[in-house]
Structure 1
Amino acid sequence: MGIINSGFLTVSTFLQQHIYHVPEYQRGYSWTEDQLEDYWIDLMQLAEDDGLGSHFLGQIVVHFERDTEKWFIIDGQQRTSTSIIILDAIRDILDHLHEVEHLEDAKIEADDLTSKYIGRVTPKRNDERLILGETDKEFFKKIVQRRGIIHSENIKVKRLSNSEELILKASKYFHKKLNELVNEEKDPDAKYNKIISVMNLILDQFKVMYVETDDINEAFIIFETLNARGKELETSDLLKNHVFRSSSDRIENIKEKWSRMIENLDNADPTKFIRHYWNGKYKFVREKDLYKNIRKEIDTPQKVEELIDTLVDLSELYFALNNPKSINYYQSPSLNERMTELQNLGAKSYYPILLGLENKHYSEEDIDQVLAALECLIVRNFVVSSKVANKYEIEFAKIARQINNDDYVTSQSIVEAVRDLIISDEEFKENFKYFTTKKTPVIRYLLRKIHNSFNYETRIINDNGRIHIEHIMPKKPREWKVSEDVHKDYLWRLGNLTLLGEEYNRSATNKTFDLKKEVYKKSQIKMTKQLENYDTWKVKDIEKRQMEFADISVGIWAK
């Protein structure tokens, strides 16, 4: 039918008119101290300024499910839950005033809070006014809705989920703030009047924009429209709600798969993951347009399930791409090492290609060949030549789409498509001659690769604790006769940098070149030991060494 109730309501009217449920697919309680502090500051400003009149708490979008005759909060569960948490803290203070100061009115007000807004919850009764999802429901009942002060020191925080811990922190935050406020007064009646005034501000002067509909699709559209420009909602939350809304009778299966995807991603950003996959499968979009495009394209339960199935399959690889040192996703050591090296270079724009290769079940050998070509491109075009990655992000997405569309006959044809984007040897060498960087992972990577390319007997390991970057002309050239301009221009040139292992001697780092050579002679790293062949270390020596590196590099990262 559509919208059946809407308008601005006081928190009192909103909380009293229905018993509300939070859908299972909604995230758990998520407000941190920043949001709690905003709530409290708004409350205190209202208390101190009679001219304000009221405070807009935010929007509430509710779906009335006619089959079950239940009201589900589609948008606004955080502010609703928080309002009940602070009302419970007020109830505890009123109960204390009744028990200790024998104020009968305090008990009456606490009883009203229980019956009208919080709900009667005892070991044998569950008459909540707000019923959270399974993740938080029991803990919320125990900490907030059940009457009586909970001694938080008896709760084992380590066993709590993230949302349960946030509920506990919110409860403690408001108990602390309210007790500090009330204890400013000495007289019991003054304490009572102060806590009642705060309670009335929340119930009667905090207002919400309330929209209720009996059409779930319309509820989500309203929710998405209201949040489209806000910072509160992540794109991934909008995507999740669209996916669930479009799942029809497959909703339970889709919810389980979405949760599995999020669990697989761990600390990886789900929005970026979905966009990397999407751009390798459909038309290229920026993040701000991702939701709009998915909503337009994924519009049936079958399409939803196909999308989610693919995302679940690829989510473990995406986690590995972002955390290659903590997980060996592939059996091939070479492939896992290459993923680590690409992360050291800060590369991410190639992700759609690897997701496409995995999605189409290319062999590890094929994937390694493609990544080798991508590594070459990233070093030559991005790292050394400072080409803008945005242009290549579009090109990489195009290659990924062709992979997903089976446009390539062999992996070699994909390699050739990547190589077509690589700059020429001449341009690479010219840029390498003047290459400077302060990014230590990049420096280690380049010097290791250069050393390992011509010295197979002693390969340098990728261990920051054992391998150190050494400035030959030092950072503090007190004993060097070098101008400030030369020092600034050449300190971070690759030709002025080398690697030191266990022979690293911090006390020698700022000494003259003759003294530093004594350290270099002991090095097991050939490129460092070769520095003993230099009589001086001036601009011409740095340039000569860097030119030698440039000649070698064309072969290492061969087009």
Structure 2
Amino acid sequence: MKAQEMQFLDIVGRPNVQFSVPAFQRVYSWTARECEDLIADVMHAGATDNAHFVGTFLYSTPDNSPDKISKLQVIDGQQRITTLTLMLMAFVEYLKTQGDAQAQRAQQLTKRFLLCDNGAQPKLLLTSIDEDMLAYLLGVQSEPEDIATRLVENLDLFRNKMLQPDFDENTFWRGCNLLQIIAIELTSEDSPQEVFESLNSKGKRLAIEDLVRNTILLGTSNKTGDEALALYENYWLPLEDKIADTKDITMEDVLCAWLAFHHEDVYLDSKSEVFPLFKADLTSKFNGDYKRLLVDLAAYADKLASSEQWRRNQLSEMDRWLQGKPKNIISERKMFGD
């Protein structure tokens, strides 16, 4: 693992590099409030000439990167790099309205930060419907049928900020150059899953389903990227679709209810113990077989979806289990030792 403090723009602006968010990562989800905070931090940094730290950026380089364009897989930091990309897109649009000299500058920024391969491909490849939407907003693809509204809304937010009379382009650009990150490049010996969990154990907690999904799919990607993608497309995505079509249930409900079903005699002190219990099951019950675990989880979800009465009973038991009130309680110490 190689870690260094550097400017965010230096990472994003690397020549002949394309950033790829793995297909199994969650879609872009930053809210307007988070975008407001980011551009306010940029303007403050530019006005005070003080660097602003925006967190860590974790990435790995696939062994089979093409010679022409090196693809860096984004393990952690996709929300920040996506938001920065949207902010730069809005700034490029702003510059194009400021005369010929600034329009030329806009072309230079586009070439460095937004597009690669002579303008034929986006610098950033996102997941699911976000990928097509970002490519459309960058002008390299026709409008997709499915609209990724969060991308559109946040781009409009930045556009509107730059239309305000008090917007100062020099302050903004100075602030962008003062955004600092800790860039962590993983080598082939590093485990993306373990590093990802360590980084996300502090600060804003990830949802249980995010931790579970990344444990399964980042863990599998240590073997081959194709195996991880196959698990995602053949098992995880159908599971999400099944749950989305089932009334009054979420992925977190299914994961917690599934664990409660297998562990009626385990006492939990808090919801924070759900994920460690899942990891213990992955090793002890499924011997690290991610596919077998997903098959078992999918079968349980099918039963939840097919019987409303059984679903209500299971969710009721899950609620009791999460509150430390399952049936036949025995102590945690007795189950797991000191």
TM-score by length of 2: 0.80
Alignment partners' CA distance in 1, 2:322 and 2:199? 34
Residue type at the aligned position of 2:254: F
Deviations 1:77-98 (A, max 9, x none): 1110110111110111111112
Alignment partners' CA distance in 1, 2:53 and 2:274? 30
Residue type at the aligned position of 1:254: L
Alignment partners' CA distance in 1, 2:237 and 2:228? 12
Deviation at 1:279, TM superposition (A): 2.9
Q: Which residue number in structure 1 is paired with residue 328 of structure 2?
A: 395
Q: Which residue number in structure 2 is paired with residue 253 of structure 1?
A: 230
> Which secondary structure state, in structure 1, belongs to the residue aligned with residue 184 of structure 2?
strand
Answer yes or no: is the 8 Å Cα contact 1:89–1:171 preserved in 2: yes
Give matches, 1:361-376, under 5 Å: none
Larger relative contact order (CA 8 Å, sep ≥ 6):
2
- Aligned pair partner of 2:12 in 10, 15, 19: 15
> Which secondary structure state, in structure 2, belongs to the residue aligned with residue 280 of structure 1?
helix
The structure richer in helix per residue is 1
- Aligned pair partner of 1:146 in 139, 158, 176: 139
The 1:280–1:24 alpha-carbon spacing in structure 2 relative to 1, beyond 3 Å, is: same
Q: Which residue number in structure 2 is paired with residue 542 of structure 1?
A: none
Q: Which residue number in structure 2 is paired with residue 30 of structure 1?
A: 29
Deviations 1:321-341 (A, max 9, x none): xxxxxxxx34xxxxx5x569x
Matched, 1:276 2:270: no
- Aligned pair partner of 1:132 in 126, 140, 149: 126
Answer yes or no: is the 8 Å Cα contact 1:6–1:210 preserved in 2: yes
> Which secondary structure state, in structure 2, belongs to the residue aligned with residue 392 of structure 1?
coil
Q: Which residue number in structure 1 is paired with residue 92 of structure 2?
A: 91
Answer yes or no: is the 8 Å Cα contact 1:55–1:206 preserved in 2: yes
Matched, 1:222 2:200: no
Give matches, 1:116-515, under 5 Å: 116-119=112-115, 125-143=119-137, 145-146=138-139, 160-161=146-147, 164-180=148-164, 183-184=165-166, 194-202=168-176, 204-215=177-188, 218-247=191-220, 248-249=223-224, 250-256=227-233, 257-266=235-244, 268-282=249-263, 284=266, 285=268, 286-299=270-283, 303-318=289-304, 320=305, 329-330=306-307, 336=308, 348-351=315-318, 390=323, 392-395=325-328
Alignment partners' CA distance in 1, 2:324 and 2:111? 61
Answer yes or no: is the 8 Å Cα contact 1:21–1:130 preserved in 2: yes
> Which secondary structure state, in structure 1, belongs to the residue aligned with residue 60 of structure 2?
strand
RMSD of aligned residue pairs (Cα, Å): 3.2
Flag structure 1 segments of 5+ consecutive residues without an equivalent: 185-190, 321-328, 331-335, 353-381, 383-387, 399-559
The 1:130–1:27 alpha-carbon spacing in structure 2 relative to 1, beyond 3 Å, is: same
Alignment partners' CA distance in 1, 2:322 and 2:76? 37
Alignment partners' CA distance in 1, 2:33 and 2:322? 35
Answer yes or no: is the 8 Å Cα contact 2:192–2:218 preserved in 1: no
Answer yes or no: is the 8 Å Cα contact 2:57–2:182 preserved in 1: yes
Identity of aligned residues (%): 17
Deviation at 1:251, TM superposition (A): 2.0
Alignment partners' CA distance in 2, 1:232 and 1:97? 42
Flag structure 2 segments of 5+ consecutive residues without an equivalent: 332-338
Deviations 1:281-303 (A, max 9, x none): 24734421222233344247862
Deviation at 1:215, TM superposition (A): 2.9
Answer yes or no: is the 8 Å Cα contact 1:23–1:133 preserved in 2: yes
> Which secondary structure state, in structure 1, belongs to the residue aligned with residue 325 of structure 2?
helix
Give matches, 1:68-87, under 5 Å: 68=65, 70-87=71-88
Give matches, 1:511-550, under 5 Å: none
Deviations 1:210-265 (A, max 9, x none): 10112385222111101113325212111111111233453233202111112222
Answer yes or no: is the 8 Å Cα contact 2:20–2:125 preserved in 1: yes
Alignment partners' CA distance in 1, 2:216 and 2:281? 11
Q: Which residue number in structure 2 is paired with residue 550 of structure 1?
A: none
Alignment partners' CA distance in 1, 2:258 and 2:157? 41
Alignment partners' CA distance in 1, 2:116 and 2:6? 23
> Which secondary structure state, in structure 2, belongs to the residue aligned with residue 312 of structure 1?
helix
Answer yes or no: is the 8 Å Cα contact 1:63–1:72 preserved in 2: yes
Alignment partners' CA distance in 2, 1:252 and 1:177? 38
Alignment partners' CA distance in 1, 2:73 and 2:105? 28
> Which secondary structure state, in structure 1, belongs to the residue aligned with residue 182 of structure 2?
strand
Give matches, 1:103-122, under 5 Å: 104=101, 106-119=102-115
Deviation at 1:351, TM superposition (A): 4.5
Alignment partners' CA distance in 2, 1:389 and 1:43? 42
> Which secondary structure state, in structure 1, belongs to the residue aligned with residue 328 of structure 2?
helix
Residue type at the aligned position of 1:350: E
Answer yes or no: is the 8 Å Cα contact 1:216–1:245 preserved in 2: no
> Which secondary structure state, in structure 2, belongs to the residue aligned with residue 231 of structure 1?
coil
> Which secondary structure state, in structure 1, belongs to the residue aligned with residue 159 of structure 2?
helix
The 1:176–1:220 alpha-carbon spacing in structure 2 relative to 1, beyond 3 Å, is: same
Alignment partners' CA distance in 2, 1:232 and 1:210? 21
Deviation at 1:349, TM superposition (A): 3.8
Residue type at the aligned position of 1:141: A
Alignment partners' CA distance in 1, 2:38 and 2:322? 42
Alignment partners' CA distance in 2, 1:26 and 1:389? 27
Deviation at 1:392, TM superposition (A): 3.4
Residue type at the aligned position of 1:110: A
> Which secondary structure state, in structure 1, belongs to the residue aligned with residue 202 of structure 2?
coil
> Which secondary structure state, in structure 1, belongs to the residue aligned with residue 127 of structure 2?
coil
